[in-house]
Amino acid sequence: MAAQGKKEHLYKILVIGDLGTGKTSIIKRYVHQFFSPHYRATIGVDFALKVLNWDNSTTIRLQLWDIAGQERFGNMTRVYYKEAVGAFVVFDVTRLSTFEAVQMWKADLDNKVLLPNGKAIPAVLLANKCDLASEGFLGNINQLDDYCREKGFHAWFETSAKENIGIEEAARSLVAKILENDETIDHPQPDGDGIRVGEEDGRAPKKTKCC
């Protein structure tokens, strides 16, 4: 239980993007401060948990859902997306095709999950493997800013799981946006058959607990 007056949040965050873009590596770096060039492929979905001491009065638990890159072609994503409140969409700066797939992933996301107020869930675009980027691949930064505005991304970051670049910043940006949403949205009671992420040990499904 949280200390007196402390708020606790549990947020489900998706990490999606084409296969081999480094989703699992980003998560491992973020959660375990560790990098290895060879994580086994993700089949279906994998998970990780990250606890953030956001400020003196707020603890945030991030439930990171690492979705297999190939799942975009499968029909299981609907199950995985349920009740997510934020997403990272990852592409590999060394492979143009993974960037082209970004809009497909984003469309899939918006198609299958929405916030309780009917809006798209906040998504942050990650340009991963920036340590390997050859000059000029990303075009100029303004272009990617425009791209994000156009496709409805909250923000974008250059990241490198290997060199530990940009991941913390990206996560803070996404979490800030989620918190902002959380305060403005009046939560309806989730229906019974959903995956009740906010709920722990079957207690009242309220996402914010105050003791």
Partner 1 sequence: MQPMPSNLRSFLEACLTPLPSERPSPAELLCHPFLADLQNDRKKNGVNFSFLPSPFKQLHRCHDLNFDLPTTTHGPPPQPHTVASEDDHFADRRIREVYYLWSLAGGEVEAELRKTSLIPSTPPICSLPCVVTSGREEHGSGSGLVTHYDRSVLLLSLDQLRKRLEGMSVADYYPLTETSGGTMPGQERHDSSSLPLAIKEKDVEYQFHRMVMFTRLLESYPHSRSLVMAEAVVDVCPLVRAEVWAALLGVKGDIQEEYAAIDKDTEQLTDRQIDVDIPRCHQYDTLLSSRDGHCKFKRILKAWIGSHPALVYWQGLDSLCAPFLALNFNDEALALACLSTFISKYLHNFFLKDNSSIMQEYLAVFSQMIAFHEPALFNHLDSTAFNPELYAIPWFLTMFTHILPLHKIYYLWDTLLLGNCSFPLFVGVSILQHLRDDLLTFDFNECILMFSDMPDIDIQACIHDAVRAYLATPPSTYLRKHDHTYSPPTDVPPEALREPLSLDVLRQESCPHISAHDVIALCGLEYHALGYGGGARESGPTHSLRSPSSPLQRRAEVGRRRGKSGKGGRKGRKGVLVDIRSQEEFRAGHVPGSLSLPHQLAFQPDGSLTPSLPSSSLSSVRTSRVIIVVANKGKSGPEFARQLVRLRFPHVCVLHNGAAVLRSLGLLTALGEDP
Which residues here bind partner 1, judged by CB under 8 A? 19-20, 38-49, 61, 63, 68-70, 73-76, 79-80, 97, 194-197, 200-202
Q: How far apart, in whole angstroms, are the C-alpha atoms of residue 31 and residue 147?
A: 29
**Closer residue to partner 1, CB minimum distance, 98 or 156:** 98
Q: How far apart, in whole angstroms, are the C-alpha atoms of residue 167 and residue 59?
A: 19
**Closer residue to partner 1, CB minimum distance, 151 or 196:** 196
Overall residue count recorded for the chain in this entry: 211
CB contact burial 26-55 (16+ within 10 A = b; e otherwise): bbbbbeeeebeeebeebeebbebebebeee
The least distance separating partner 1 from the CB of residue 89, rounded to whole angstroms, comes to: 18
Q: How far apart, in whole angstroms, are the C-alpha atoms of residue 60 and residue 87?
A: 16
**Closer residue to partner 1, CB minimum distance, 99 or 156:** 99
The least distance separating partner 1 from the CB of residue 53, rounded to whole angstroms, comes to: 17
**Closer residue to partner 1, CB minimum distance, 47 or 140:** 47
The least distance separating partner 1 from the CB of residue 49, rounded to whole angstroms, comes to: 6
* 61 within 8 A of 8, measured Cβ to Cβ: yes
The least distance separating partner 1 from the CB of residue 23, rounded to whole angstroms, comes to: 12
